[in-house]
A and B are shown apart, each in its own frame.
Chain A
Amino acid sequence: MMVIETSGLTKFYGTAPGIIDLDLEVREGEIFGLLGPNGAGKSTTIRTLLNFLLPTRGSGTIFGLDIHKETVAIKRRTGYLPGDLALYDRMTGREFLLYFANLRKIDTRTRVRELADRFDLDLDRPIKAYSSGNRQKVGLVNAFMHDPELLILDEPTGGLDPLMQQEFQDLLNEVRDDGRTVFLSSHILPEVERIADRVGIVRDQRLVTVDSVEAFKDLGRATVTIRFASIPDPSAFASLESVLEVDVRNGGDTLVLSIEGTVDAVLKMAAAQEVLSISTRANELEDVFLSYYTDADAS
């Protein structure tokens, strides 16, 4: 079942494009990451899905409900974290969350207490006095407190420290274990790589590609760095079929090899000499990601 489905969804700001011809499908129970550089159209997509912006053309559904006509019904089952977070400064965190729980006509007090504990968030101070990370936490608690079927999170980890990012990731895993769905945007790759099941890449207001994180990784190249006790012969390595590129570093005793396919041949050749250390940075999404950008830039 598709939770989010759009066809040809397009939003122009006057004449400036926000997102163009977006065909997107987000499946039930998955964590979908929308990746793209600044200004690619991520926030526009999200704000159009939530009916803050009216599509210039195209249409979309969430839970099979029309994003424009049935937006209230959609929001009942959705939790949202804005990318540009603004809160009612004069309220305390608790009052803020109480108000939004009331608007949903549910009692979330237990869940709020639980989440606040997990995020180590003091709810009884005025929001004005919060640090930016703590404001972000209030936004996150608001999105999660009613255990929605779908979470739409625009750059959720901004301002969170590593510990809290871990907590957030655990929370997402629980959501996935429950079979609920997450749609998040980010431009931080390692984050999406860790969290998401599938990734869509947007660039210049268009969705360039969608695939699973694993598939992206397979596409990628690996980088192997080998440090030898004595100076090796780089051309021997370069002649191997799997080696695309050889970089000589550190006065010649270190080789940085760019590899496609298996590392077998490289390892065997290296083993002929005394190897001090070896590291591989294999198949990272970042490489794919960057190559998508640079490829597109080139064209």
Chain B
Amino acid sequence: MLHNVFAKAIRDNLRSAIAWMTGAGVLTAWLISMYPYIRGSEEIKELLEQLPPEMIATFGVDPATFLTGAGYVSGQMYSFIGPIIMIGFAVALGAALTATEERDGTLDMLLSAPISRRRIVVSRIAAGALLSALVPGAMAVVLLIGNGPFGLQLSIQGILAVNVGLWLLGLVFAGLAGAAGAFTGRPGVARGVAFSAAVPAWLVTTFAPVLEWLDVASRMSPFTWYMEKNPLLDLWSTGLAWLVMSSVTLGVATLWVFARRDIATELTVLPQTRITTKRSRHVKPRSVYLLRSVATKTVWDRRRTTVLWAAGISSVLLASFSAWPALAANPDALAAVIGAMPPEMFIIFGTTDPAAMATPAGFISSDAYLSTGPLVMIIFCVSGVSALVAKEERSGTLDILLSNPIRRSAVLGGKAVGLAFLAGVIAVILTVVGFVGNAVWNAGLEPMHIIGANVGLMLLGIFFGGMSLALWSFLGSGGAAVGITSVVAIVTFFLNGLATLVDPIAPLRVLSPFFWYLGDTAALAKGIEPAYLLLLLGGVLGTAVAVWRVEKRDLGT
């Protein structure tokens, strides 16, 4: 597997490709196994017919086709979960195109071999395209197998078309990350650019049916190109051609920029026009006060990331607020539809009380505090631990830090405090956004409930951050800590929902942090719950364990 750049790229990413592929395949299987509940239901059919179509469009459900296999599969799998998995993996590949190696410093070595920059990029693009095809590939295989047994009645061409579409959607965002990475040489920027383009693009496409003023913007969203027509039915639409064109354009841009860049200089350079990034200048005086202690330096390190992620959740929250008035026009019908659907369908989004979806608190909670929000908050805290602590040990800067007269526990504690503070900053930003949204769109939420929801969200992040910190202190590896924490988060997330359906595991539900956070009431429908204390205790405990453990461990081995 070390034959050339292409083969090595495959080898380097194969493990994560298999993980993403398995996740996508299992989720697809789970969802289509529930289709038989829907197909037979005359009740749902009647209810759907009563509703204005745009009303439930925001659930990724097309009323006209929802009861068909094609409508169900595209609504449940291909409009939210599928793209998240696809883009998550594709962006990681895009950032690794050149930027990861440039940051690690190994690109110098690679380029000293007789191989052109273009060749390297082209090989890696080929490998990335191939690997990212594994995700829709697995989904396609599951659909092909499940098609008959679950009575989905999908056409083989349609299965092919929708998965090609998903793949192309991934390639667009991989291309964006790749181009941004080739331009800046910084994988963090590459990921940031791609995700901060993906979130608004997704929102625009999702909410365009409800909010007319989004129409123009939604024409330019890759999600619209991908989802506007249902490829399971319409097969090859022009939207797919747009996806091809934009990913090819981004690929060419990547090649062009990368061939002309100074490698590993912290400079973003185009021929003749030289732009110096802020970081290569001296630290600005107004930021210097943040370099006083480990905790404040943590804030300094993550300030941009914090703003970015806060903006991500905020936009989701605002979009939910703004969509509410359209839905509120006929709340009873909405409630009836939701009530008629099988609860398993909602559990995947974390809702154990589907009826609440027809209330403002329940509906607005459903993205920002149930699915997207917790996802983003947990990623923020866990990746923060990995970037601030684990990476510092790996890169050797921890040695320098600890050569100062400061205890290890103080270093770790300082970082934990800094990170918790930033989670708090996100919560404060979201609270403000919540108040604004509440006032502008007349959602009628209680102020204390808005505060409570954000406190809960913050503590959920702190809980998993503390867990990954403790894991890191024992394992000494950031990757392993992040991996285990993610698995725990996913398992306990589903445990919370499934335990309400499956009797044997019902008693275990109280062990899930998602139960402490969500309970059976939407986050925006309750204040600061006593159960949130458990989240806080968990986070503190994890940090305490890490602080204790790190004093007794070899560093950097």
Contact = CB atoms under 8 A, between A and B. Distances in A.
Nearest to B109: A82
A75 B114 contact: yes
A53 B265 contact: yes
B260 interface: yes
Interface string A47-64: 100111110000000000
B3 A102 contact: yes
Contacts of B116: 71-72
A104 interface: yes
- Residue in A73, A99, A100 with the greatest tally of chain B CB atoms within 10 Å: A99
A98 B113 CA distance: 12
A79 B274 CA distance: 30
Interface stretch (B39-47, B100-108, B165-173, B249-257): B100-108
Given A14-B267, A75-B112, A103 B105 contact: no
Contacts of B5: 103
B403 interface: no
B111 A14 contact: no
Contacts of B113: 75, 100, 103-104
Contact of A87 (B109, B115, B263, B274): B109
B302 interface: no
B235 interface: no
A32 interface: no
Q: Interface on chain B toward A: helix, strand, loop, or mixed SS?
A: loop
Contacts of A85: 105, 109
A159 B264 CA distance: 23
B8 interface: yes
Given A53-B265, A86-B104, A72 B114 contact: yes
A216 interface: no
A142 B109 CA distance: 9
The interface size bin for chain A is 20 to 34
A103 B109 contact: no
A13 B267 contact: yes
Interface residues of B, number: 29
Nearest to B394: A89
- Residue in B104, B112, B263 with the greatest tally of chain A CB atoms within 10 Å: B112
B2 A102 contact: yes
Nearest to B120: A103
B536 to A, nearest CB: 36
B111 A99 contact: no
Nearest to A132: B396
A86 B101 CA distance: 10
Q: Interface on chain A toward B: helix, strand, loop, or mixed SS?
A: mixed
B4 interface: yes
Contacts of B261: 54
B108 A82 contact: yes
Nearest to B8: A99
B404 interface: no
B112 A50 contact: yes
- Residue in A72, A78, A85 with the greatest tally of chain B CB atoms within 10 Å: A72
A72 B259 CA distance: 13
Contacts of B111: 50-52, 75
Interface in B5-31: 5, 8
A52 B2 contact: no
Contacts of A87: 106, 109
B121 to A, nearest CB: 14
Given A14-B276, A86-B106, A142-B109, A72 B263 contact: no
B108 A54 contact: no
Nearest to A14: B276
Interface in A73-128: 73, 75-76, 78-80, 82, 84-88, 95, 98-100, 102-104
B280 interface: yes
A252 B501 CA distance: 98
B477 to A, nearest CB: 10
A182 B185 CA distance: 31
Interface in B253-287: 260-265, 267, 269, 271, 274, 276, 280
Contacts of B105: 82, 84-86
Contact of A103 (B115, B267, B269, B274): B115
Interface of A: 13-15, 47, 50-54, 71-73, 75-76, 78-80, 82, 84-88, 95, 98-100, 102-104, 139, 142
Given A86-B108, A100-B113, 10 more contacts: A52-B262, A54-B260, A54-B262, A71-B116, A72-B116, A75-B113, A80-B112, A82-B108, A99-B2, A100-B109
9 contacts: A14-B274, A75-B111, A75-B114, A82-B109, A84-B105, A86-B105, A103-B5, A103-B115, A142-B109
